[in-house]
Amino acid sequence: LCPPGVLPLCCRPPAWDRPPGLPLAPCRSFSNNKIQVELDESSGVAMMKFKSPPVNSLSLDFLTEFSISLEKLENDRACRGVIITSAVPKIFSSGLDIMEMCGKSTEHYAEFWRAVQEMWLRLYGSNMVTVAAVNGNSPAGGCLVALSCDYRIMAENPKFSIGLNEAQLGIVAPFWFKDTFVNIVGHRIAERSLQLGSLHPAPEAHRFGLVDELVPEEKLLERAAAVMAQWLALPDHARQLTKSMMRKALLDRLVAHREEDIKNFISFISKESIQKSLRMYMEMLKKKKS
């Protein structure tokens, strides 16, 4: 017996009924430098793997390739969902590339920040089902990528952490990072976590809903495919309108203040005190390497 109000599978139009099972039999793959994309046409699911060692930094090039890949998939009628993960061990993405924010021209800062905005607008506003399979550390901009998806599964490894830790570097997450975060964990947890620049170990992140579930790392992609199948069982049109209803206000807010947001970023990042903090941080990273 079917509970009242539920449309049983037998009544669904054929298009909704495509078996979305994985593992993916790759059908088309984009030739990219920093992101590997494979679309399985039978399931309608694309696998997007970040492969920009050592830490999948969100450089200008990376962001541009990310946005173009998302646009291609969005316009491909064969694609209904994307799983986002990393091909680099232990790291999902380390976030915005500090090199792009250090000692560059005003024009460069503007171009870089516009690329960050563009990536978020495409990902947070995507019509596709987006599932993040977080298989490593995911600080700052890396966390934003995960937050912008429809669902987050993380490897249940307490050594992996996730969070908007900008305050630790002496910088501030912009309002749309903050609002994306608040929409997921609520105002209070966001207020505390953002002020402390907290990086939450996977179990803690799961406890307050920053990620939706934890699975052993080796089962991450399998579980992502199962979750994707669950979301794709819904009619696309109704799901997309519902998603838009939930996210439109926030997307519109950035679109309306995009140039102002770029100006704010340039003015903040150009400050000598901020540049000094970032240079010290980069020095420290270099010493670590050698």
In whole angstroms, how close is the CB of 5 to a copy of itself at the nearest point?
3
Do 99 and 58 form a contact (C-beta atoms < 8 A)? no
- Burial degree of 89 (CB within 10 A; 0-12, 13-18, 19+): exposed
Catalytic positions, written as ranges: 96, 141, 165-166
Q: Which residues are bridge partners to 240 per DSSP?
A: none
- Burial degree of 235 (CB within 10 A; 0-12, 13-18, 19+): middle
Terminal CA-to-CA distance of the chain, rounded, Å? 65
Give contact residues for a copy of itself (rule: CB under 8 A). 2-8, 10-11, 13, 55, 91, 94-95, 137, 139-140, 142, 150-151, 161, 165-173, 175, 178, 182-188, 190-192, 194-197, 199, 209, 212, 230-231, 234-235, 237-239, 241-243, 245-247, 273, 276-277, 280-281, 283-284, 288
Angle between helical axes of 106-124 and 60-74 (0-180°, round to 10): 30
- Smaller CB separation from a copy of itself, 159 or 219: 159
Do 38 and 47 form a contact (C-beta atoms < 8 A)? yes
Strands in 136-139's sheet, in edge-to-edge order, are 90-91, 136-139, 161-163, 200-201
- Smaller CB separation from a copy of itself, 26 or 186: 186
Cα 90-149-19 angle, rounded to 5 deg: 100
In whole angstroms, how close is the CB of 175 to a copy of itself at the nearest point?
6
Question: Can you tell me the distance from the alpha carbon of 150 to that of 137, in angstroms, rounded to the nearest whole number?
Answer: 19
- Smaller CB separation from a copy of itself, 37 or 206: 206
Q: Which residues are bridge partners to 81 per DSSP?
A: 45, 129
- Smaller CB separation from a copy of itself, 16 or 30: 16
In whole angstroms, how close is the CB of 86 to a copy of itself at the nearest point?
12
In whole angstroms, how close is the CB of 78 to a copy of itself at the nearest point?
20
- Smaller CB separation from a copy of itself, 36 or 264: 264
In whole angstroms, how close is the CB of 126 to a copy of itself at the nearest point?
12
Phi, psi of 95 (to 5 degrees): 95, -165
- Smaller CB separation from a copy of itself, 107 or 272: 272
Taking alpha carbons only, the member of 75, 175, 182, 188 closest to residue 120 is 175
- The SS3 of residue 18 is coil
In whole angstroms, how close is the CB of 115 to a copy of itself at the nearest point?
19
Cα 269-271-277 angle, rounded to 5 deg: 75
Q: Which residues are bridge partners to 218 per DSSP?
A: none
